[in-house]
Amino acid sequence: MRDDLEAQDRIAEFLASVAAATSVEISAFEPLRGGSVQQNYRLDTRFADGPFAGAQNLVLRTNSQSKLMESRSRSEEFHIQRLVFDAGVRVPEPLWLCDDRAVIGDTFYIMRKISGSAWGPEIVTNCANNNCGEEVGEMLGAELARIHAISHGLPGTEFLGAPDARPLHDRLSNLQVAMSALPSPQPILEWGLHWLQKAMPDHQEVVLAHRDFRTGNYMLDGIELTGLLDWEFSGWSDPHEDIGWFCARCWRFGNFDLEAGGIANRDAFYRGYERESGRKIDPRSTFWCEVLAHLRWAVIAIEQGERHASGVESSLDLALTSRRAAEVGWELLAMTSPSELPLTEHVSV
C-alpha cells in the first residue's frame, strides 16, 4: 500500500473530509516496525486549514491479510481505544475510523503518533541503562489499574457485550477451541490445558482488560511512558489475566530475573497497581494466569505460523514465530511440574 499513490490520495481526501480541511498533504507514508498481527503505517501530514491545521504526525492502523481467532475488528478496537482514552489512560488519541473499503480496500483508523519505542529488546536494555525500570514498572502498574477501573455498566461500554461472571473459565474454553483448530496435535499444550482446568481460581472478578499488556506494547520515550498500544484483544476479564501476562517469563525478553516485563521487580509493578486500584493482587491467581499466558502465547505462535504456511499471508516473521512454541512449551512444563500439587489442592481459599 505504501507505493499505491492513488490510495494515498484517497486517504488524504478522507482526512480532509473528516477534519473539515480543504486539503491534506501526505509527506510520508511507510510501514512501522512491529505489529505482527495488524498493520501500522506512519502518516506524516499537513492539513491546509480547519481544526487540525498544520503538521500532524499520525498512524494508520488496518487489518493484516489474515487474522487471529481472538482478534477484534478494527472498528471495535477503535471504540475501545476511544473508551480508555476518555477514561484518562495513556493511549494514542484515536481520531477517525473509516469503514469505507473504497479508500484502501479495508477498514482502518487514524490515531495520533506518539513518541518513543515499543521494541521489547530496546525497552529492557534502555530501562537497565537508564536505571529506570522500577519507576517505569510502577507507572505501568498504575496505568493498568486505570484500565481495570472500567467496569461493565459504565456508559460507553455497551458495545463490549455482557461479561461472563467467571471470565477465566471463558478464556480457557476459548483456548480449548483454538487448540482444536491447530494444524497438528499438541500434547505439551494439552498437558498445560489440563493443569489449568484442574487448578482454576475460585474467585474471579470482571473488569476491562487489555489482554496483551506486556513489554512490546507500550511506548517509552526515555523514561516517559507515552502510551499503551494494541487494543485488539481487549475485553472483559479477570484483572489477574493482565498481571499474569505482563509478568509471564515469555515476555521478559531475556531479562528473566526482572519478573515484571523484564524491566522491574514484581514489587514495583504490584505497588503501582495496588496503590492506584485499591485492589490486592492474589499471587495464586497471578501464577495461574502466568501458566495461562504461556499456553495462550504458544497457541498464538502456532497460529501465526499457520497464517504463513497456509499461504494466506507470506511473512518470514510469522513463519519464525511458530518456533517460539518450543521455548514457551518448555516454560509451560517448567511451571506445571507434577512435583507441585495443583494450587487448589494445597492452598486454602
* Contacting positions for another protein (CB under 8 A): 31, 33, 183-188, 190-191, 193-194, 247, 249, 254, 256-257, 259, 283-284, 287, 290, 302, 305-306, 308-309, 314, 316-317, 319-320, 322-324, 326-327, 329-330, 333-335, 337-338, 340-341, 343, 346-347
Of the two residues 93 and 267, which places its CB atom closer to another protein in the complex? 267
Of the two residues 107 and 126, which places its CB atom closer to another protein in the complex? 126
Smallest gap from residue 183 Cβ to another protein (A): 5
What does each C-alpha distance from 129 to 126, 137, 143 come to in angstroms? Answer: 5, 15, 23
Smallest gap from residue 24 Cβ to another protein (A): 25
Smallest gap from residue 185 Cβ to another protein (A): 4
Spatial separation of the C-alpha atoms in residues 44 and 30, rounded to whole Å? 9
Of the two residues 65 and 314, which places its CB atom closer to another protein in the complex? 314
DSSP label at residue 158: G
Spatial separation of the C-alpha atoms in residues 63 and 262, rounded to whole Å? 29
What does each C-alpha distance from 181 to 113, 232, 244 come to in angstroms? Answer: 36, 21, 25
Smallest gap from residue 327 Cβ to another protein (A): 5
Of the two residues 138 and 306, which places its CB atom closer to another protein in the complex? 306
Of the two residues 217 and 321, which places its CB atom closer to another protein in the complex? 321
Spatial separation of the C-alpha atoms in residues 306 and 315, rounded to whole Å? 10
Strands of the 38-47 sheet, one edge to the other: 24-31, 38-47, 54-63, 108-112, 94-98
What does each C-alpha distance from 173 to 4, 188, 297 come to in angstroms? Answer: 42, 17, 15
Smallest gap from residue 163 Cβ to another protein (A): 26
